[in-house]
């Protein structure tokens, strides 16, 4: 694993990242809500890419991990712009393969649309687009609309998970499943059918909303939300390898 570096944004925030140079497309891993680049899936993808001689980029959104800022000030739009600026600084014009986990899957779609023709492909892991809409009760939405913070039970740690009004409002302004998502690159979606956080049906709705015809959705019957078991990680890297092979050597039309 390479050393952590810091990229100073135009607004003076410092974004922590790890980068390894190599052949493109550059793999960019986008972690989930309140997660960081030290997670098991992120580091596995980075180590695999490094071993394959592939360019790869990990990062912590502002307010997360080792990056500066307050998590309460974060939003999808802010983090999208941070990811795009860091990609521009590190990719040297290479095409990009985005890998997004949970909320990172929503962010992946926003970044992918912004990248346009530079987007080589995407791999989603339990993608959670629009969770500010389908994942919240009417009572929660009323509180968030009034500027309050809502706290959820956290199955992964002792402290409750906050949903801040700013993040929720920005999510509501960036809903995607009710429109055509303007991504034409090949897409692979992985989702566990024992996911207690993001219903696996969301991946079906996402596959339908994507403009690309090259979309494959794979369900893991005994998989949970994190998909971080050894077999899940192996499936993730294998999926990346297969997609990269398709990108590098596209099938010829008869």
> Is 223 a domain residue?
yes
CATH number of the CATH domain containing 65: 3.40.50.1820
Q: How far apart, in whole angstroms, are the C-alpha atoms of residue 36 and residue 125?
A: 15
Tens digits of residue pLDDT in 183-238: 999 999 999 999 999 999 999 999 999 999 999 999 999 999 999 999 999 999 99
CB atoms within 10 A of CB 48: 19
Query: Does residue 166 lie in a domain region?
Result: no
Contacts of 150 (CB under 8 A, 6+ apart): 136, 140, 143, 144, 162, 163, 168
Is the pLDDT at 254 greater than 50, yes or no? no
pLDDT at residue 179 is higher than 60? yes
Average pLDDT, the chain: 96
pLDDT at 231: 98
pTM of the full structure: 0.96
Measure Cα distances from 231 to 25, 221, 236 in Å.
25, 13, 9
On whether residue 161 sits in a domain, the answer given is no
Q: Is residue 142 in a domain?
A: no
Identify whether 58 is part of a domain. Answer: yes
Residue 83 within a domain: yes
The confidence score (pLDDT) of residue 253 equals 52
pLDDT at 155: 79
Taking 90 as the threshold, does the pLDDT of residue 10 lie above it? no
How many domains does one find in the chain? 1
Residue 236 lies in a domain: yes
Say what the pLDDT of residue 230 is: 97
Q: Would you name the residues annotated as active-site residues?
A: 102, 195, 225
215 belongs to a structural domain: yes
Residues 94-113: tens digit of each pLDDT: 999 999 999 999 999 999 99
What Rg value do the Cα atoms of the chain yield, rounded?
17
Average pLDDT of 152-172? Answer: 92
**Mean of pLDDT values over 50-78:** 97
Write out the H or E segment, with its range, that includes residue 240: helix 230-248
Range of the domain at 215: 5-131+178-248
Which one-letter DSSP state was computed for residue 93?
T
Q: What average pLDDT does range 20-29 have in this prediction?
A: 96
Please compute the mean of the pLDDT values over residues 50-71 and round it to a whole number: 97
> Which pLDDT does position 252 carry in this prediction?
63
Does 146 score more than 50 pLDDT?
yes
Collect all residues with Cβ–Cβ distance below 8 Å to 240 and sequence separation of at least 6: 27, 45, 48, 49, 97, 99, 123
């Amino acid at each position: 694993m390479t050393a952590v570096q810091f990229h100073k944004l135009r607004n003076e925030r410092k974004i922590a990242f790890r980068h390894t140079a190599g052949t493109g497309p550059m793999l960019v891993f986008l972690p989930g809500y309140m997660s960081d680049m030290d997670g098991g899936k992120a580091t596995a993808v980075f180590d695999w890419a490094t071993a394959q001689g592939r360019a790869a980029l990990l990062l912590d959104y502002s307010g997360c991990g080792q990056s500066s800022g307050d998590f309460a000030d974060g939003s999808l739009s802010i983090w999208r712009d941070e990811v795009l600026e860091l990609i521009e600084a590190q990719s040297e014009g290479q095409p990009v393969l985005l890998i997004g986990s949970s909320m990172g899957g929503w962010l992946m779609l926003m970044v992918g649309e912004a990248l346009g023709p530079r987007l080589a492909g995407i791999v989603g892991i339990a993608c959670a687009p629009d969770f500010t809409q389908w994942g919240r009760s009417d009572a929660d939405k009323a509180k968030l609309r009034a500027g309050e913070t809502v706290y959820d039970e956290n199955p992964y740690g002792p402290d409750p998970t906050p949903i801040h009004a700013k993040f929720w409002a920005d999510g509501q302004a960036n809903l995607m499943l009710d429109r055509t998502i303007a991504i034409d690159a090949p897409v692979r979606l992985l989702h566990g059918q024992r996911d207690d956080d993001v219903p696996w049906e969301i991946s079906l709705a996402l596959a339908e909303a994507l403009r690309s015809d090259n979309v494959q959705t794979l369900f893991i019957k005994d998989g949970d939300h994190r998909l971080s078991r050894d077999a899940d990680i192996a499936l993730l890297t294998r999926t990346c390898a297969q997609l990269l092979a398709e990108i590098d050597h596209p099938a010829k039309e008869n």
